[in-house]
Amino acid sequence: MLGLLETGPRHGYDLKRVYDERFGQDRPLAYGQVYSTLSRLLRNGLVEESGVEPGGGPERKRYAITDAGVTDVSEWLVTPESPQTYLQSAMYTKVVLALMSGRDANEVLDAQRTAHLKSMRELTSRKQGGDLTDQLICDHALFHLEADLRWLELTAARLSELGGQFTG
Amino acid sequence: MRSWLNDLAIGVRLAVGGGRTALARFVLSTIGIGLAVAVLLLASSVGPILDARDVRATANQPIYLPVAGVAPTRYMETSTEFRSTRIGVTYLQAFGATSPVPIGIPRLPGTDEMFVSPAMADLLADPLLRERFPQRIAGVIDRAGIKDPLKAQAYLGADDLPAREVGATQTAYGFRQGSHVAYMDAGLLLLLLLGTIAILVPVFIFLVSSTRIAGAERDRRLSALRLAGAGDRQVRRIAAAESLVSAGAGLALGGGLFLLGREVAGGISLMGSSVYSSDIVPVWWLAVLVVLSAPVLAVFAAQFALRRTIIEPLGVVRRSTPVNRRIAWRLAMIAVGVLLLLWRGGEFLDNTWVWSVLVATGVTLLLLGVPALLPWVVERTVRGLRGGSTSWQLAVRRLQLDSGTSSRVVSGVVVVLAGAIALQAMLLSQARIRSFSGSTWDGESTVLSVSAVGQVAPEVEKALAATPSAHAWSRADTVDVQIPGLTHSYTQVVDCSIVAAVYGFHGCVDGHIYAQPGLDITGLEQGKEVAVLSTDSKERAVSRIRWTVPVPVERVSFAARVNQEFPALLITRAAMPDAPRTRDQVGFYALPDPNATDATDRIRAALGPLGWQVSVYERRASFLRDDQETYLTIRTGLLIGSVFTLLLAGVSLLVLAVEHIRERRRPLAVLAAGGVPNGVIARSLLWQIALPIGLGVVVAVGVGVTLAALTAQIVDGPVILDWLTIGVMTGAAAALVLLVSLLTLPFLRSATRLESLRTE
Amino acid sequence: MAERDDDTLLVGSELRKSFGPTPALDGAGLMVRRGEIVAVMGPSGSGKSTLLHCLAGIVAPDSGTVTFDGQDLAAMRDRDRSALRRGAFGFVFQFGQLVPELSCVENVALPMRLGGTRRKQAEAKALEWMARLEVDHLGGKRPGEVSGGQAQRVAIARALVTEPKVVFADEPTGALDSFNGEQVMRLLVDSARETGASVVLVTHEARVAAYSDREVVVRDGRTRQVELVS
């Protein structure tokens, strides 16, 4: 959110709208969340109130980023995310269980691929219609889904080579 | 029709302007075809050239039978030399206003006049020669009267030519264009056939391989076309059009080279023969044949190359390994050739036109057997090879995958080699038949042999004594000693001063008699009296003496042979002071002073005033019989042709080798990128050429020797194989190939630069 | 086999093909409807390329039939098959389908030229298509002088210039990075949809397959039809 403020002073409602546009496709921000975050940032001196915008409706406070805030954002951006490992994802569990129960690895793969491709198609068509933000988000998701499938393919290939190690 | 034109247009478009590599390919095959076409055009002009020469050579056929109302012309043809240029000299004597005039000059020259050929006029600029021929130059001989345009020839007037019986004079009542009867004996005809074929077959092979340059690349291109929707017929049309372009360009280039060569040829003289540029005109139907053959062969070769590749849209990607080369038709070809040469249409056809065709076909088939057999031999040989160094392994594996390209690269050279071996043997055996061993004179220094009419002998002696250029001279009387053992010998009476130079025998003592070992001299013991006579040019005894042998005959081996055919008996002047002599011819030997400049020509000049009555020969070349002369002409022609062919083979080799590297640029670059040193790659490329050339040499020697044996049996001649020469030729061929491979190394370096890895 | 209907354009059934002793196709089948984009997926060596080649009439199957618009490809003469490739089919491969000697615009014009269209006309049309694929500025260059992504766009232009009924694409993004791959796929799919062409898209990448309407999986030379889930 600090990052969004770095582009210019905004008021609370504005912040929520921009965030939703860029990142919140699946999880829109609640107003409460916006304001609680802002007050926490105010307290830490990372943002300041830069004025009140008069207008119809509720009072609109504009918030601007402070120098300390800019430093904080920069630090955050250059700190690499620690790579997430999804060792305990639901899909992994499901596939391993399915295989242990003696199901054909390829069938599991095909079923999963059908499901994956279905959502990938949706993502692809949304990407083609959407703007840059849409594209970035969809690509992100597509690559993850593809990674799942590739893991599945590799697994299926390994299994058919090893021949039922799980079922033992 | 539209679509046909369309396809052709696409083919043309592919052939030209396809970027640098396509341009290189185009230029290479154009040069190849151009050279071949030029040689073929030249070859097809040989007939007219010889015809024109024959016409001129027989331009002055004399009419010997008296013609009513016509005064005869007496003439004498001799020749002399000036600074080793041969000059033809004809003395002409008129007996009246109606005396006939030889073709080429407007009238008979007066006694102090001469007509000269352009080349003679140039020579006469030298005062030394002008001294010998002081006559006024009345005009230039027209080209119709001179066989070789660069020949020096003079027509001199005379008023004292002897009657016919004495000397070489003739009496003519007219000169007319003679009809030339081209007769050649079987041996010479065969030599000519063999030589022509041996020269032309490689040219055709080169022509065909030029059109097949960059086969793999073309396959890829054509399959890409197939993918774009070209039918297989359409692809063939496109490929044909593509090869037609370079054939057309090659034709133009070849035509240009031919015209250029024609102009150049007018100015050069090879071994005493020269031609007029305007005589170098191809026989029209042969020229048409050449002009047609280039594109037809190009298209044919392109289609032939496509026979194994059924060009599919995926082209080379999924082609199964090529089928084994079959041996049957290759051997059949050779077998048919051998049979044709053995049979030759039976006894009846000897020396006929059909005979020539049969023999020519046989020779052609046999020679074509070389390029046909070679790929098979190479393939079979490399199949079992393995192991060895890295470079060897790379080469062998590559050859196992595709030996055709390498075989094709060397086959041109190999055919030349096979032809050369056969030709060499044929030349040797013909030389033996014609008892011909090059020069008959192998004395230590220059010797002038002077032959004079008897009456002027004292003047000759005076002139020789007076000129400081002759540091020794002697009369030489050729006599006939009447004992049985000397019937077939050569006996001369000379002074000791010239014996060392003439006979190559040092230590001559005046008054002694020397005989070559092996000469039967029974009856010539000291004190015996024998008859000695001298005969004139008509073999009539004109003078005879009785002679008592004064000293015992000494046996001596003469280092130089005065007469090629007969052993010699040498009698010094003091041993037979009164040697009989003929009136018509007296011989002298004169030794030019080796320290004086132009001594030979000064002696000739000193004898010049005696005109036709004296002829001077530098004792080097011997008199040649007609068939010997023809043999020499053929040999000269073949030598020239062989040089051309060898050049062509070298160029073709270079072209193909460079192309070979270019085509495999990517794999080579991959090897280099993979850390294989350039040296190893270079050696592997050398192996790839060396292996086929090695096998090719074996095949060539086999075929060449077979051909030599077969041709020898045709003329019942001996099979003479000069293994040393064969070895040298073989080595030269191999060296040529390796040299060319070395020449391609810079290309290899550029190919293995890593940029070559970039695709498309 | 999936059910047939009037929209059916291309059907291959019971296709078998061996290269030497190894069977590449072992009873594969595929049905393509008009305007449909079908992804053919599967591990490498599964025979998916061979399936495409059989469907396009490039490779003759050992047994089985391929029917295009009601015509049996096997029964056609090479000439007609070539004409079909020229007019009704378009091809986009990983690389190598362009003729290196010809310039880009000549490459695009090639199918029309082979069909007998005049040069000017063919090249004008080619340039039009190259403009749609944003590569018209490369017209005079040869394929060797442009980047991989540009070459693929030229290839797509060539595949579509005759407004074919089917475009066969074999790993069209295989040699490209993700970004160029995305663009090439988007252009291919958009252009195909615009002209109503069906696309048979061979790929092993799910992201590429996601551009399709449905996918078919080839494994060990056999196809597994995956039901179209709506």
B524 and B464 in a common domain: yes
Contacts of A114 (CB under 8 A, 6+ apart): C226, C229
Q: Of B63, B732, B754, nearest to B417 (Cα)?
A: B732
Identify whether C54 is part of a domain.
yes
CB atoms within 10 A of CB B590: 28
**Whose structure tokens read 């790659």?**
B681
**Whose structure tokens read 């109503």?**
C196
Contacts of B384 (CB under 8 A, 6+ apart): none
- The two three-digit tokens of residue B66, written as one number: 């008296």
- The two three-digit tokens of residue B286, written as one number: 């042969």
pLDDT at B438: 44
Min Cα–Cα distance to chain B from C230, Å: 36
Q: What is the DSSP letter of B391?
A: H
CB atoms within 10 A of CB A61: 14
Q: How far apart are CA B330 and CA B411, in angstroms?
A: 14
Q: Based on the structure, what is the number of domains in chain B?
A: 4
Contacts of B376 (CB under 8 A, 6+ apart): B325, B326, B327, B330
Helices (H), B384-403: 390-401
In this predicted model, what pLDDT tens digit does every residue of B703-723 receive, in sequence order? 888 888 888 777 777 777 778
Q: How far apart are CA B660 and CA B658, in angstroms?
A: 5
Contacts of A24 (CB under 8 A, 6+ apart): none
Q: How confident is the model at residue A142 (pLDDT cuts 50, 70, 90)?
A: confident
Q: Of B410, B744, B202, B13, nearest to C106 (Cα)?
A: B13
Ordered strands of the C63-68 beta sheet: C22-33, C8-19, C63-68, C71-72
Min Cα–Cα distance to chain B from C99, Å: 6
Identify whether B586 is part of a domain.
yes
**Alpha-carbon Rg for chain A in angstroms:** 23
End residue of a domain, out of B618, B636, B660: B618
Instruction: Search chain B and give the residue with CA nearest C102.
Output: B18
C60 to chain B, any CB pair closer than 8 A? The answer is: no
Identify whether B142 is part of a domain.
yes
Instruction: Search chain B and give the residue with CA nearest C143.
Output: B760
CATH number of A2-78: 1.10.10.10
Q: How far apart are CA B405 and CA B383, in angstroms?
A: 16
SS3 content of chain C, % helix, strand, coil (to 5): 40, 25, 35
SS3 A64: strand
In this predicted model, what pLDDT tens digit does every residue of B604-647 receive, in sequence order? 888 877 777 777 877 654 445 556 666 777 777 777 777 767 77
Task: Look over chain B and give the mean of its residue pLDDT values, rounded to a whole number.
Answer: 75
Quick one: average pLDDT of B178-192? 63
CB atoms within 10 A of CB C138: 22
A134 to chain C, any CB pair closer than 8 A? The answer is: no
C59, C82, C102 member nearest B231 (Cβ):
C82
End residue of a domain, out of B600, B618, B636: B618
Inter-chain residue contact C99 with B231, CB threshold 8 Å: no
B339 and B293 in a common domain: no
SS3 B82: strand
Identify whether C3 is part of a domain.
no
End residue of a domain, out of B110, B145, B176: B176
A110, A118, A143 member nearest C224 (Cβ):
A110
Give me the domain span that covers residue C116. 8-225
**Chain B residues 288-347 with CB within 8 Å of chain C:** 312-314, 318, 320
Identify the residue among C82, C118, C142, C158 best suited for mutation to test binding to B, counting B beta carbons within 10 A and taking the highest.
Answer: C82
B366 and B307 in a common domain: no
∠ CA A60-A63-A64, nearest 5°, is 150
Question: Touching A: which chains, 3+ CB pairs < 8 A?
Answer: C
Name the more confident of B184 and C106.
Answer: C106
Quick one: average pLDDT of B435-462? 68
Contacts of B353 (CB under 8 A, 6+ apart): none
Q: How far apart are CA A26 and CA A140, in angstroms?
A: 14
C182, C186, C206 member nearest A117 (Cβ):
C206
Identify whether C100 is part of a domain.
yes
Q: How confident is the model at residue B760 (pLDDT cuts 50, 70, 90)?
A: very low
B748 and B669 in a common domain: yes
Identify whether B720 is part of a domain.
yes
pLDDT exceeds cutoff 70 at B19: no
Q: Give the burial string for A139-158 (b: 16+ CB within 10 Å, else e).
A: bebbeebbebbeebbebbee
Q: How far apart are CA B741 and CA B687, in angstroms?
A: 10
**Whose structure tokens read 């080595």?**
B731
pLDDT exceeds cutoff 60 at B321: no
C53, C78, C143 member nearest B231 (Cβ):
C78
**Whose structure tokens read 């020396």?**
B351
C79, C93, C151 member nearest B231 (Cβ):
C79
Instruction: Search chain C and give the residue with CA nearest A135.
Output: C182
Q: Give the burial string for B452-472 (b: 16+ CB within 10 Å, else e).
A: bbbebbeebeebbeebebbbb
Do B332 and B339 form a contact (C-beta atoms < 8 A)?
A: no
Inter-chain residue contact B760 with C110, CB threshold 8 Å: no
Min Cα–Cα distance to chain C from A43, Å: 43
Residues of chain C in Cβ contact (below 8 Å) with chain A: 41, 43, 182, 186, 205-207, 209-212, 215, 217, 219, 224, 226, 229
Q: How far is CA B521 from the centre of its chain?
A: 44
Inter-chain residue contact A143 with C215, CB threshold 8 Å: no
pLDDT at B320: 41
pLDDT at C6: 67
- Can you give the three-state secondary structure of B631-697, one letter per residue? HHHHHHHHHHHHHHHHHHHHHHHHHHHHHHHHHCHHHHHHHHHCCCCHHHHHHHHHHHHHHHHHHHH
Q: Based on the structure, what is the number of domains in chain C?
A: 1
Q: How far apart are CA B129 and CA B147, in angstroms?
A: 22
- Amino acid in position C27: G
CB atoms within 10 A of CB B271: 12
Contacts of A77 (CB under 8 A, 6+ apart): A3
Inter-chain residue contact B228 with C110, CB threshold 8 Å: yes
pLDDT exceeds cutoff 50 at C98: yes
Identify whether B417 is part of a domain.
yes
SS3 A124: helix
**Residue B694, phi then psi, degrees to nearest 5:** -60, -50
Identify whether C157 is part of a domain.
yes
Q: How far apart are CA B654 and CA B27, in angstroms?
A: 13
In this predicted model, what pLDDT tens digit does every residue of B716-750 receive, in sequence order? 777 777 787 778 878 887 787 778 777 877 777 77
pLDDT at B185: 62
Which string of DSSP letters, residue by residue, matches B305-356? HTTT----TTGGGGPPPPPPPPSHHHHHHHHHHHHHHHHTT-GGGTTSHHHH
Inter-chain residue contact B312 with C59, CB threshold 8 Å: yes
B452 and B388 in a common domain: no
Question: Chains B/A: 3 or more C-beta pairs closer than 8 A?
Answer: no
Do C191 and C135 form a contact (C-beta atoms < 8 A)?
A: no
- Contacts with C110 from chain B: Cβ below 8 Å: 10, 225, 228
Q: ipTM, 2 decimals?
A: 0.79
Quick one: average pLDDT of B659-682? 75
B330 and B287 in a common domain: no
C186, C207, C229 member nearest A120 (Cβ):
C207
Inter-chain residue contact C19 with B228, CB threshold 8 Å: no
Identify whether C174 is part of a domain.
yes
- The two three-digit tokens of residue A120, written as one number: 């990938």
Q: What is the DSSP letter of C213?
A: S
Inter-chain residue contact A123 with C207, CB threshold 8 Å: no
Inter-chain residue contact C229 with A157, CB threshold 8 Å: no
Among B177-191, B242-256, B326-340, B561-575, the minimum mean pLDDT is found in B177-191
Identify whether C82 is part of a domain.
yes
Inter-chain residue contact A118 with C229, CB threshold 8 Å: yes
- Contacts with A124 from chain C: Cβ below 8 Å: 207, 210-211
Strand ranges (DSSP E) for chain C?
Answer: 8-19, 22-33, 37-41, 63-68, 71-72, 89-92, 166-170, 198-202, 214-219, 222-225
pLDDT exceeds cutoff 50 at A30: yes
Which string of DSSP letters, residue by residue, matches C12-52? EEEEEEEETTEEEEEEEEEEEETT-EEEEE--TTSSHHHHH
B96 and B43 in a common domain: no
B72 and B47 in a common domain: no
- Contacts with B230 from chain C: Cβ below 8 Å: 82, 86, 114
Identify the residue among C173, C207, C212, C214 best suited for mutation to test binding to A, counting A beta carbons within 10 A and taking the highest.
Answer: C207
In this predicted model, what pLDDT tens digit does every residue of B82-111 receive, in sequence order? 876 778 888 888 887 777 778 778 888 878
- Contacts with A139 from chain C: Cβ below 8 Å: 182
- Contacts with B663 from chain C: Cβ below 8 Å: none
Among A101-105, B539-543, B753-757, C186-190, the minimum mean pLDDT is found in B753-757
Give me the domain span that covers residue B498. 448-618
Q: How far apart are CA B410 and CA B739, in angstroms?
A: 13
- The two three-digit tokens of residue C125, written as one number: 């049309």
C43, C211, C217 member nearest A124 (Cβ):
C211
Min Cα–Cα distance to chain A from C104, Å: 28
Q: How far apart are CA B573 and CA B581, in angstroms?
A: 13
Inter-chain residue contact B221 with C100, CB threshold 8 Å: yes
CATH of the domain at C22: 3.40.50.300
- Contacts with C58 from chain B: Cβ below 8 Å: 227, 312-314
Instruction: Search chain C and give the residue with CA nearest B25.
Output: C101
Domains of chain A, by residue range, sit at: 2-78, 90-162
Torsion of CA C70, C75, C78, C79, to 10 degrees: -50
Identify whether C2 is part of a domain.
no
- The two three-digit tokens of residue B609, written as one number: 């005033």
- The two three-digit tokens of residue A102, written as one number: 């003696």
pLDDT at B442: 47
A110, A116, A157 member nearest C206 (Cβ):
A116
C59, C99, C114 member nearest B229 (Cβ):
C114
Inter-chain residue contact B19 with C144, CB threshold 8 Å: yes
